[in-house]
Structure 1
Amino acid sequence: MQQDNKIKKQQIIGMLVSIAIVIIMYFMPAPADLGVAGWRTISILLVFLILLVTEAFPAGVICIITLILMPVLGAVPSIGDGFTGFANPVTFFILASFGISAAIAKMPIAHRILLVIIRLLKGSTRGIIFGIMVCTALFSSMVSNIPTTAIFMGIALGFLDIFEDEDEKKRTGKALMIAIPVSAMVGGVMTPAGSSLNLLVIGMLEQMTGITVSFVQWMVFGIPLAIVILPAAWLIITKVYHPADMDPDRLKAYVNTLNTHDKMDIKEKFVILVTLIMLVCWIASSWFPVFNVTMVALCGLFCLFLPKIGALTWDEFVKSVSWQVFFLVGTVLTLGTAISANGIGNWLVASFMPEQMSITGPILIAICGFIGFAMLIVVPVAPAFIAVLAPAMISVAANCGYSPAILMIILGICAGNAYLLPLDTVPMITYSKGFYKMSEMPKSTALIQVILVVLMAVWFPLAGSIVGFI
């Protein structure tokens, strides 16, 4: 009951503060160098963030309130301009990704890959954790982080049932339940298809600057980063949480539970074929614009509905879609467009930063990375986090004479690796199982984030020169 009262008080405070912000900023004169539309956009952005953080309403309802306020308060010229984010291809890519994830989850593909890795690693507990992390990261490079985490959490829970000693199960479970969301988020940086956040920053970059980041260009930044950070994360997690060793006979029994039918049925083969074709087309899109990333995803989704060989029904697709995510991304894209059109990013940078800065390269990247992770604590909702920082990142890049594409990729990677605390949706999935406390996660993940920033600072200037951003 106390918790319910606390939540209600938090919601009431969020609503009252939001109403106060709208009233005060509506009647307060706008800064001369910003304009009324920009000032009103800032007030709407603040309301959006406060309502999300205080959970005053469900996220989808908050998005509806935001979309209503934009034309009413004059942040956008017309009602049609208040819905531009939902016409963005990114929103439809996200819809398609939910269906593709649902089809893959129905098939025993994950179990087959995990079985091969366990056999290759000869099967110690730490080896199995590494195998699960690798599988999770590989899946997450093509599939949304949330369903990937849910799939491999189920596999990990089956593995944990082998431990009879409660302390051993708890220690091993703690390591696994932290390793899985970390791996999903790390894998999500490998390709633009790995996370809707990647597509979100790419879309906002193109809207605000006209610069396009191709599928392969993103991979040049993301894949080497993931290859290095994943084993580093495994070492840190297993050192910090000390998973228990396992009896060889019990390991053998677990391997037997992973055994699936010797032969794949036609539906599993078809899902693999469609996924591989999509991957090839996404890579080819870097040279052949006809292979648009969203169009490829939609075509792949359509194929999964085909009778007899398809693995997905319409009802399964509808159930798989997170409409909350759909509304969040569409609303954030709309806000991002308004922020850019009304010059808010440039105003913030001009007001709080020097007109010209000589910082470039690794130092600038490291500063942006650490600021990004620090801001995630204040704004733990990744789409909102991107909406707040994207215009500022682009303005900072302009002031420093640096590539805005690189700083936006950093922004996407920071948003997609929000595991300092289990506040993001992805780590919240495993946190809900009770194997670790909120205070236990930073013991490993804080160091992982520091290493990630250092790696970006070292690798991204070279990657930028390889793909032509520098």
Structure 2
Amino acid sequence: MSDSRGYSLKKIAKYPFVYAKNTKLGMFLACTILAGLLTLFLGDDSFVRSQYIVLFLLFFAMLLWFTEAIPPFAVGIFIVGYLIFFMGQEGTMDVKQYVQTWSDGVIWLFLGGFFLAEGMRKSRLDIRLLIITAPKFGDKARNIILGLMFVTAVLSMVMSNTATTAMMLATVTPLFKEIENKKLHKAFLFGIPTAAAIGGMGTIIGSAPNAIAVGALESIGIKISFIEWMSIGVPIALLLTYIFWKILMRKYNLGDLKLSTDFIENLERKKDHKKEEVQQRRIVLIVFAITVFFWLSSQWTGIPVAAVSGIPIVALTMMGIIDADDVRKLPWDTLMLVAGGLALGIAIQEQELALYFISKISAFNFNIYLLLILFSILTVVLSNFMSNTAATTILAPVALSIISLYANVNPILFIVVIGLSASCSLLLPVSTPPNAIVFSTGLVEQKEFRLAGVSMGLIGPALIIIWTFLLTSLFF
């Protein structure tokens, strides 16, 4: 599950390439001026006032997300407030649609996922999964790394990428003191965060860009069920995890190095054997199973996935597993960012801004599949330098406008490719919170992130396009 990029900056704020706080105001003012200039030069004489308003907001939000002059979630709040204030002055505009993004089905889906993830963390169900599965991969270091990467990827489909990475690193770092093998250390340190980021592709709640993609498709009347997304995302997530493991083993040749699983067995000794804790785990497991069942079967039961999200919210609080303090600690910033992104997407489509700019380049008659590749690459590039949620928010409406100019093109293909490609941005420590956690340990250098950044940035989009094209051609 994805998190705000603001977390990344907090984790590595002690490093010199992160902007000092006293420059934030200057960057904010610079973004304002530059957005105004871009609006002035790229606008058109035929634009009405509302189109200029939204065009400025688009440029301003992009610049704020890129520079981190204010936190990404704050940009999301700003977008909604800006649209309500300025578009509300346009008598023909219904500003309620911008506020209603806070209650969008995607938001409720994410919130249900947050409650499940918190319940798993508090009941230590995630630890139990690790204890049960990891030892089954034998005693070879390469196989244990593969096992932990797969466990990380699966957990990241329902839990926070940040929490999963932190938990897994806390499990393996004691091993570093016992075995002085730098190659082994690096394999763990890069394998776990990469698996966490890639694993988020697997489900709609696994990554915020996934939710943005689903929301974009819903805006044109196309609904993707939970199980339909998993049919695309899970195979890609697991395959890319395996491929990156192979890349790691080629880079850090561990041979037949044996590795004791005592560091995992220590978790067993530390676990809480209280009857109450065992009961909590059982409750969370039952709630998890029921919720996932109804998420997967929504297209047959007719129960919306957003409504199903009420099951963990009600059940886990009613049973006392999650209390008010836990609710306050949920990643609300992610919901704010997603809601703002949805509102911006509505405004862009409503004002037909994407259509205008697409009409300017339509004369070049680009091949539709070349455009698909370009969108995938552009998503990866932008997501390395700004929030991947923000990048998806910007590109999804543009893609929808482009494909409307072509006959017999499935919108699902473009939008799903954009959503999944956003999780392949791993080039920098600030590209993802898992990367930031690893970088904050001081055990890796910034340049070492190129391995995952370049390999997944090239292989990921290619496999995503091929797999998504195959499935959409056959089943969607």
Fold-level match, TM-score > 0.5?
A: yes
Q: Quickly name the TM-score band, shorter chain normalised.
A: 0.7 to 0.9
Gap change, CA 1:98 and 1:430, over 3 Å in 2: farther
Q: Deviations over 1:189-229 (max 9, x none)?
A: 1222322321221012211x111112222122112212321
Partner of 1:205: 217
> Identity, % of aligned pairs?
22
Could you tell me which of 136, 156, 168 is aligned with 2:172? 156
Q: CA shift at 1:146, angstroms? A: 2.8
**Take 1:26 and 1:184, find their aligned partners in 2: how far apart are those partners?**
38
Gap change, CA 1:323 and 1:220, over 3 Å in 2: closer
SS at match of 2:112: helix
**Take 2:195 and 2:474, find their aligned partners in 1: how far apart are those partners?**
26
Aligned residue pairs, count: 454
2:391 is equivalent to residue 385 of structure 1: yes
Could you tell me which of 443, 447, 453 is aligned with 1:445? 453
**Take 2:167 and 2:186, find their aligned partners in 1: how far apart are those partners?**
17
Unaligned runs of 5+ in 2: 1-13
Summarize the alignment of residues 290-369 of structure 1 with structure 2, pairs less than 5 Å apart. 290=303, 292-307=304-319, 310-319=320-329, 321-354=330-363, 356-360=365-369, 363-369=370-376
Summarize the alignment of residues 157-172 of structure 1 with structure 2, pairs less than 5 Å apart. 157-163=173-179, 165=180, 168=181, 170-172=182-184
2:236 is equivalent to residue 220 of structure 1: no
**Take 2:365 and 2:350, find their aligned partners in 1: how far apart are those partners?**
22
SS at match of 1:20: helix
Gap change, CA 1:421 and 1:3, over 3 Å in 2: closer
User: Structure 1 residue runs of 4+, over 6 Å off?
Assistant: 25-29, 261-264
SS at match of 1:210: coil
Partner of 2:281: 268
Summarize the alignment of residues 234-245 of structure 1 with structure 2, pairs less than 5 Å apart. 234-242=245-253
Q: Deviations over 1:84-116 (max 9, x none)?
A: 321312223323322221111123333333334
2:210 is equivalent to residue 192 of structure 1: no
**Take 2:450 and 2:42, find their aligned partners in 1: how far apart are those partners?**
43
Q: Is the 8 A contact 2:428 2:450 kept in 1?
A: yes
Q: Is the 8 A contact 2:73 2:333 kept in 1?
A: yes
Gap change, CA 1:123 and 1:4, over 3 Å in 2: closer
Q: Normalising by the residue count of structure 1, what TM-score does the alignment of the two structures yield?
A: 0.87
**Take 1:298 and 1:242, find their aligned partners in 2: how far apart are those partners?**
47
Q: Is the 8 A contact 1:215 1:283 kept in 2?
A: yes
SS at match of 1:85: helix
SS at match of 1:286: helix
Larger relative contact order (Cα-Cα within 8 Å, sequence gap ≥ 6): 2
Q: Is the 8 A contact 1:143 1:195 kept in 2?
A: no
Q: CA shift at 1:356, angstroms? A: 4.7
Unaligned runs of 5+ in 1: none
Q: CA shift at 1:328, angstroms? A: 1.1
Q: Is the 8 A contact 2:189 2:438 kept in 1?
A: yes
Q: Normalising by the residue count of structure 2, what TM-score does the alignment of the two structures yield?
A: 0.86
Gap change, CA 1:171 and 1:13, over 3 Å in 2: farther
Partner of 1:70: 83
Indicate the larger mover: 214-223 or 170-179: 170-179
SS at match of 1:406: helix
**Take 2:467 and 2:18, find their aligned partners in 1: how far apart are those partners?**
49
Q: Deviations over 1:111-158 (max 9, x none)?
A: 333334333221222212111111111112222323222322222324
Partner of 1:435: 443
